Structure 1
Amino acid sequence: MNLAPAAFDFLPAQPGMANHFDDYIELRDHISQEGFPVLFYQFVVPPEHPGRCPLIPGGCIDILFPFGAQVSGPMVIGGVRSRTLSLQPGTTYFGARLLPVPLAPHSLIPVKKLANSCVPLGEFLPARLCSMLRLPLEGGSFFSRISLFQEGITRVTALAPLGGDREPKGLGPAIDRICEARGNISLSHLSGIANCSSRHFRSLFEAYVGIPPKTFCQIVRFQSAVRQLLQPGKIAFSNVVSESGYYDQAHFIREFKKFSRECPTVWLTHLLQKNHN
């Protein structure tokens, strides 16, 4: 699936991670040959840290690898609802954030069941495929881990799927168009891009992305607003509303609260307070 730069730019932000851990680093990239976008990141949870980190909806999955003395195995985190992620103090975490589309054909569970869940990698992919993604428990730099993960996931996606076909050809361009439009696009337009009926497109989208296309569009729009709110300097709400495609300020606040559980000003205040605590 070859996604254009617009989709590459969408990869959702998790400001809770960046603002909770001083050594947080990230790199936007794509998986070789497959061409789908991925965000790699890494951070260390200090020994004195409570180990709790807030996450917001992003529409992607995170594959998170812990490195430390006493850690569990890698886990897969769905990205549809706000949640607090429990982490192990004194542990290094390396993560890869991507759309579930290329892994969906290999999944042991329906992707839509993962959307609101956090499961061990071994419950998501067969053991043989998990071994391809396994990273050394100790040592290695951020960039060496990226290289190893890229090698592993390229091998995984090259294998024949467990059942059915690989992702439909029209799905990638439709996702690309959603991201390019910041989520402001109709289902009928998307089904036209995918060359199928609206009902069939909705079914395909849920099977490979894990959520209805309408919900994904709303999350893309929400993430667009989050990115603007996090820009340096003060940004007027009216600009965020218009540039993100909300009808008015009431629509913006209502949808923002749906995904963050707080109105924009309260959410931003809490985020900044946590950054300084």
Structure 2
Amino acid sequence: MSFLVHYPAPPLSAFVEYFYSPAGPMPYAIEKVMPMPCADLKINFGDPFHARRAGEGAATEALRDSWCMGLWDEYHTVTWPTNPDYIGVRFRPGGGFAVLGVEADELANQVVALDAVLGRFAGEVRERLYEAGGAQARFQVLETLLTRAIRRWPDSGRIAPALTALAESHGHVQVGDLAQSAGVSQKHLITLFNRIIGVPPKTLARLYRLQYLLDTVDIARPVVWTEVAQDHLYFDQAHFNKDFKRFTGHTPGEYLALRRRVAAETPDHAGHTRLLRAG
């Protein structure tokens, strides 16, 4: 499975990492989506999606038109439509706050209809994109619309150095150092992170560490998990195992087996470390 990807130009690139659109059906009908340090927006033109939280037996109501998924600190499961047709937006941490103007903690671990966030403008965006036709034209239209929507939030700029430090260190920065870089107390930094990012600094750091771990573990070679835990500065093996299962729903060994199964069955899909076959 491959995706068409478009990287926006400044100033939007400070808030949006990339746009994406599927180039064909998904190889598995149901997949787990690993938590990552980003919020996500989808504008759908095809059949509905279904999603459910970790541990829930039933899927949510059908996701049909457009929706925003805040930053999650747990995996969730998605049932894909047979022939997906949508444009997705992967926001950088805090990007949804700056562009959509919504408090991030209101979206955390939630899937929210876009019209609840943007009102009538959500329908106008979807209609403009539908009329644009193919993915590349839709990318250009959406980039223009989101660039015009950028809000100038002083608090976003205040925590920008902290966000840069977390990203560049893959989450290995002390909260006290982040607060100092932002020029605020640790308590106020947590308040700002909850409002702008949707989670506290420590949670975002853990998500950055998980993302880096999943992206760098080599599933084609023997994996010694004790060494992985040490390399990623986990306190001990028990802490690593608990954190890993909390986020992915699997032990490290189970996760590795599933990744290898996907690589054997659908090699083109194996690079999507955030997606894991369900069952």
Question: TM-score interval w.r.t. the shorter chain?
Answer: 0.7 to 0.9
| More displaced 10-residue stretch of structure 1: 202-211 or 71-80 | 71-80
Partner of 1:67: 45
Matched residues in 1 for 2:167 and 2:232: separation? 11
For 1:63 and 1:267, locate their aligned partners in 2 and report how far apart those are by CA, in whole Å.
26
Which structure 2 residues correspond to residues 21-170 of structure 1 after superposition, within 5 A? 22=1, 24-27=2-5, 29-36=7-14, 37-43=16-22, 46=25, 51-68=29-46, 72-80=64-72, 81-99=74-92, 101-104=94-97, 110-128=103-121, 131-132=124-125, 135-137=128-130, 140-157=133-150, 159=151, 165-170=153-158
User: Paired residue for 1:198, among 167, 176, 186?
Assistant: 186
What are the Cα deviations for residues 27-53 of structure 1, in whole angstroms up to 9, with x where unaligned? 373452244141322225649x77423
Give the equivalent residue in structure 2 for 1:6: none
What is the distance in 2 between the residues matched to 1:175 and 1:130?
Answer: 32
Task: Note the C-alpha offset of 1:82.
Answer: 0.5
What's the counterpart of residue 266 of structure 1?
A: 254
Aligned to 2:174: 186
Deviation at 1:181? 1.3
- Alpha-carbon displacement from aligned partner over 1:70-99 (angstroms, at most 9, x marks no partner): 782111122312011233222323211113
Give ranges in structure 2 of 5+ residues lacking alignment.
49-62, 267-279
Give the superposition deviation at 1:211. 0.7
Letter in 1 for 2:170: R
In 2, Cα distance between equivalents of 1:192 and 1:121: 35
Structure 1 residue 186: Cα displacement: 1.1
Q: Could you tell me which amino acid in structure 1 is paired with residue 43 of structure 2?
A: F
CA-CA distance at 1:104 after TM superposition? 1.7
Q: Which moved more, 1:200-209 or 1:140-149?
A: 140-149
Task: Tell me whether 208-217 or 59-68 shows the greater mean CA deviation.
Answer: 59-68
Unaligned ranges ≥5, structure 1: 1-21
Letter in 1 for 2:179: S
Q: Secondary structure at the match of 2:234?
A: coil
CA distance 1:190–1:108, shift in 2 (3 Å): closer
Identity %: 22
Q: Given the alignment of the two structures, is residue 241 of structure 1 paired with residue 229 of structure 2, yes or no?
A: yes
After TM superposition, the structure 1 stretch with the greater mean CA deviation from structure 2, 217-226 or 62-71, is 62-71
Is the 1:75–1:120 Cα contact (8 Å) retained in structure 2? Answer: yes
Letter in 2 for 1:40: F
| Alpha-carbon RMSD | 2.9
CA distance in 1, matches of 2:121, 2:40: 20
Q: Kindly indicate whether the alpha-carbon contact (under 8 Å) linking 2:12 and 2:143 is maintained by their aligned counterparts in 1.
A: no
Residue equivalent to 1:255: 243
Q: TM-score, normalised by structure 1?
A: 0.77
Q: Against the structure 1 CA distance between its residues 133 and 189, is the aligned structure 2 distance closer, same or farther, given a 3 Å change threshold?
A: farther
Please give the alpha-carbon distance, in whole angstroms, between the structure 2 residues aligned to 1:104 and 1:130: 20
Alignment equivalent of 1:172, drawn from 142, 145, 160: 160
Give the 4+ runs in structure 1 shifted more than 6 A.
Answer: none
Residue range with higher mean Cα deviation, 25-34 or 183-192: 25-34
Asked if 2 retains the 8 angstrom alpha-carbon contact of 1:68 and 1:90, the reply is: yes
Determine if contact 1:60/1:97 at 8 Å carries over to the other structure.
yes
